[in-house]
Structure 1
């Protein structure tokens, strides 16, 4: 398939906004992230992209997140029925960047980041000796180790969504919600600003370090709470970010300045699932399973991923056996070659996403689905 070049000349005189974010892997292997609200004041040509961020300090060894697939689903924010508000998704590709270009009408949209789960997976690495987070200095006071400071600096990069080098209360709260499930209110933020380094009402990188040092001091050097924070942010005990993938979204508009905000939508996962089902079924080849006219498999073939949906039109649940053993150089989002999917009555369900293990080599997708008796 020919590679579609995302137009690079477009960005020159266009209005540009960008925002960062991150995919996080949950304990049940679900992938979560913030969503984004895009407001376009008048109908205009739009060009938007998403790509992973390389946090690595060394050029020779890019961070593992650079191989993670990223895409954006754009849905209309005008509260019509949730299944019908899908607008488009990023199908153009240039290396690790995925994009979409076209015209969008004036209005509000939600950008829903998506990753298949083929590349962002539970880390199998066993860390025999955890890194030290804090140490006693000659003065007897606690200090953060160099390795921990580097990791905290990476977290700061990920949480600084607008990329201005400072953390606003809103940005800090996305971090708090991710790590502790709580939010910092205005009063607590005021105390934060009195005690830690701030600039223009926002927390500096150094202030963020001080805050983590204070937490270590509160626990008298016991690192357990610090590790809870690090693991929630996708780090293992060797302080490698293995279960998160930071990304950046860029939006270019020809005629107007777009407004982009990060949000935490309760309905985000549901909207994303509806959009996924919609794109796969509308762009896919459909076939009924042998001896089961009421069970249909839809297979969408994109340039870098293949996705399938199983639709069960019957009045009872069916269990579908899925076998990818004849595939070559392929990895399924299910994490195994052979599995079964239970599809409730009158329901459509994503069966799997498949990507090449090695992008430089040929990959052959061969999947056999059958209904279990």
Structure 2
């Protein structure tokens, strides 16, 4: 049968769209490959290997300088705190992503704020006064080093245009010298760096930096790091130096049958039910934070617990990116103390995007820890042509929220209204405030909100939430900068698409009693969660002892559409394990690399990687080789 012109046109559009998408991915991968090459070049200028750690503030400052940065002491102190002992290569990459090199335009703008007459010069005396009294104060000797440079010293004045030129040239030269050294040194060239030379046709993207837990984090200060959770994904010199290895192969079909054991909450309509919403948020460094919950059961009962992405408003014709993000829930029993939690189980039964667990629980307090692998919730470089408009002025000259911004705010309200009653309590609102501003709203400030915005029963209504954001816009006279800070922290991009967050909903069904669930924290994956993930895989996964090294065991467990591998090191020494996914097909790894290495501490277990299918409608083939480097 002949095809119609319309269908041919449609096919052409689809091909062009796929081609453009493929080109965009290739461009992004190329940019990331260059970024990581520069990172590695700078790192190896100071350290002997990318397996070696930065051991002091001085080393950190030096390696940042080699990467073309000019770190102040304040910047160094931000990343090297009193709790820091070492930083690994991936920590360094994460720092460079945050500490962007200054552009000449930015430097000139900064100087322009001092040179209000736009002369192109700044008096040395004025420069001394500013640099020794404002911000991070410099010493007189440090300022003198700048002013005595003949290249831009013009009779007691600083020619800041020339200074900026020298600054940029010096920065670029540092990067160039580091790259040239890498090219000339055969020993360094032979050190394999992930898979930067490969295309990413199988869906395993370029590296996503995973900072070491030795960096102090504001979101995870309550619980100590898991023993043995010290990650050093790095670049071993050669797979040929491996002393022992083990291979795991799984061939899996398409997702025509996505149900492992069907959970049907509809059959439990007579049971008591409790519900809470929450959200996974992606941090700048690729770390994922989420709400954590306490569940109270007044008596022993059969219980069904489910978690799934929250299906909120979607733009017509576009599917919500977050709906494809995998979710899981780990159930831990609280004993004498909060730190002493015992893994009960986790949601491994699947019905489409819902994961659940059904069993009997005794009376008491349980912790529910949401989890996602990070395979599908990760940094994506958006291809956008412009920025969505948030506010506008009506005919009366008054500010108003745009239709698109109101829709986004409505979705945000739906997500942060954890109990789903259509109102925001102070507790719910504070989770929102902690995420967007880092500070809580106290009772006094809440009373001010009560006076100025629509409330019911001391809780903020949806309209009150809209008006609060409008007031923020009015306070800034229409400048949307602060509104964008809020949106970006909640996972939205400049096109008002939620791409770096995944709202979810948890349902608890109990046959004999009324369960109560309450959100307690909004924080990064804790040591308790890390231990729970490892223990669940060790308990249920297939164990393989590494050939030639009986102290190293690799556990592989498949649940739903996810494969997790865990490495156990029973020896008394640190070991470095080389992981190779090059033979896998249609696979997406949480590590973001086809080839990487991990360091496992003595007498400990750690997650090697999580893997999911890139395209769920196609078969996928998992082939992973774990090899001992040392």
TM-score normalised by length of structure 1: 0.95
If each structure's helix is expressed as a fraction of its own residues, which one has the higher value? 2
Shift of 1:146: 1.3
Aligned to 1:193: 450
If each structure's strand is expressed as a fraction of its own residues, which one has the higher value? 1
Alignment of 1:226-305 (within 5 A): 226-264=483-521, 269-305=526-562
Shift of 1:357: 1.2
Aligned to 2:566: 309
Q: What CA distance in whole angstroms lies between the structure 2 residues aligned with 1:80 and 1:88?
A: 19
Aligned to 1:341: 598
Gaps of 5+ in 1: none
Q: What CA distance in whole angstroms lies between the structure 2 residues aligned with 1:324 and 1:57?
A: 35
Q: Confirm or deny: 8 A CA contact 1:35 1:268 kept in the other structure.
A: no
Q: Does 1:24 align with 2:260?
A: no
* 450, 459, 462: which one aligns with 1:202: 459
Shift of 1:347: 2.2
Cα 1:81/1:328, change in 2 over 3 Å:
same
SS at match of 1:227: helix
Q: Confirm or deny: 8 A CA contact 2:554 2:568 kept in the other structure.
A: yes
Aligned to 2:617: 360
Shift of 1:369: 1.1
Q: Confirm or deny: 8 A CA contact 1:196 1:211 kept in the other structure.
A: yes
When the two chains are superposed, the root-mean-square deviation of aligned CA atoms in Å is 1.8
Shift of 1:312: 1.9
Cα 1:356/1:79, change in 2 over 3 Å:
farther
Shift of 1:7: 3.0
Cα 1:196/1:84, change in 2 over 3 Å:
closer
SS at match of 2:605: strand
Shift of 1:266: 6.7
Q: Does 1:62 align with 2:316?
A: no
Q: What CA distance in whole angstroms lies between the structure 2 residues aligned with 1:97 and 1:216?
A: 38
Aligned to 1:161: 418
Q: What CA distance in whole angstroms lies between the structure 1 residues aligned with 2:480 and 2:573?
A: 51
Q: What CA distance in whole angstroms lies between the structure 1 residues aligned with 2:262 and 2:390?
A: 44
Q: Does 1:89 align with 2:337?
A: no
Q: What CA distance in whole angstroms lies between the structure 1 residues aligned with 2:524 and 2:277?
A: 20
Higher relative contact order (CA 8 A, sep 6+): 1
Q: Confirm or deny: 8 A CA contact 2:588 2:614 kept in the other structure.
A: yes
Q: Confirm or deny: 8 A CA contact 1:356 1:363 kept in the other structure.
A: yes
Shift of 1:265: 6.8
Q: Confirm or deny: 8 A CA contact 1:56 1:62 kept in the other structure.
A: no
Shift of 1:130: 1.1
Aligned to 2:307: 50
Shift of 1:314: 2.3
TM-score normalised by length of structure 2: 0.57
Aligned to 2:233: none
Aligned to 1:36: 293
Deviates more, 1:60-69 or 1:185-194: 60-69
Alignment of 1:325-340 (within 5 A): 325-340=582-597
Deviates more, 1:65-74 or 1:55-64: 55-64
Q: Confirm or deny: 8 A CA contact 1:19 1:163 kept in the other structure.
A: yes
Aligned to 1:217: 474
Q: What CA distance in whole angstroms lies between the structure 2 residues aligned with 1:197 and 1:302?
A: 46
Aligned to 2:381: 124
